Amino acid sequence: DFVVTQSPDSLAVSLGERATINCKSSQSVLYSSNNKNYLAWYQQKPGQPPKLLISWASTRESGVPDRFSGSGSGTDFTLTINSLQAEDVAVYYCQQYYDTLPAFGQGTKLEI
Amino acid sequence: QVQLVESGGGVVQPGGSLTLSCAASGFTFRSYGMHWVRQAPGKGLEWVAFIRFDTSNAYYIDSVKGRFTVSKDNSRNTVSLQMNGLRGEDTAVYYCAKDRGYRSPDGLLENWGQGTLVTVSS
């Protein structure tokens, strides 16, 4: 079974600074036939459903500000938020979709 | 635009049953698979189930296998989650979500509903 683990569980960053969230999968999510990493990032603001931010480990969804970026390959991934804004306060989840049964990390709560 | 509206949540006793529904609009429903994801109060996201666009197959997390059944009515643009043998640990907000893949599951949950709360308690 795939296990996805995020670190840290919570993070406090000052406005304008950089936030870094890590995600580790128990197995590689890199599909060799297409060289794609089946790893996504979601943002969930209080009282709202999650929102897809990044797919394929590093592809921003339409409308997502370019201060959000994803990186990594295989089993280790990072979500970086540059120039943190007040509206970025949320819980961030990574998700592997390599396996038939998708799995989320436990979430990282980002605070100012 | 894509709209997903869940309904059917409520309070149910342990061992009871409940059926959740999700009404979809704004896309060609018959061409996309649908997921259910839950979130216990104050906790993280847990993927629960997926049904393929053509209902040919369904997948479940181990903890609900044999108790939950996902179904999809492509004529009514609805996906449902029949939940039997409910336990306290099933208490959560249940979200339906549209898979991004056109006629082929991709595992990306592109659009989400607002969720419906299920509380299992005596």
Give the pLDDT confidence of A14-40 residue by residue, as tens digits: 999 999 999 999 999 999 999 999 999
pLDDT score recorded for residue B104 = 86
Of B47, B50, B110, the CB nearest to A103: B47
Q: Please give the average per-residue pLDDT across B39-47, as a whole number.
A: 97
Q: Which two tokens stand for residue B87?
A: 């336990």
Q: Is the pLDDT of residue B4 over 90?
A: yes
Between CA B10 and CA B17, with CA B14 as vertex, the angle to 5 degrees is: 55
CA dihedral B54, B55, B59, B60 (to 10 degrees): 140
How many residue pairs from chains A and B have C-beta atoms closer than 8 A?
53
Confidence at A2, pLDDT banded by 50, 70, 90: confident
Average pLDDT, chain B: 96
Confidence at A1, pLDDT banded by 50, 70, 90: confident
Confidence at B94, pLDDT banded by 50, 70, 90: very high
The Cα–Cα gap between B84 and B82 comes to 7
In sign, the C-alpha dihedral spanning B43, A43, A94, B118 is: positive
CB contact under 8 A, B61 and A97: no
Q: Please give the average per-residue pLDDT across B72-80, as a whole number.
A: 97
Q: Is the pLDDT of residue A50 over 90?
A: yes
Of A52, A101, A104, the CB nearest to B45: A104
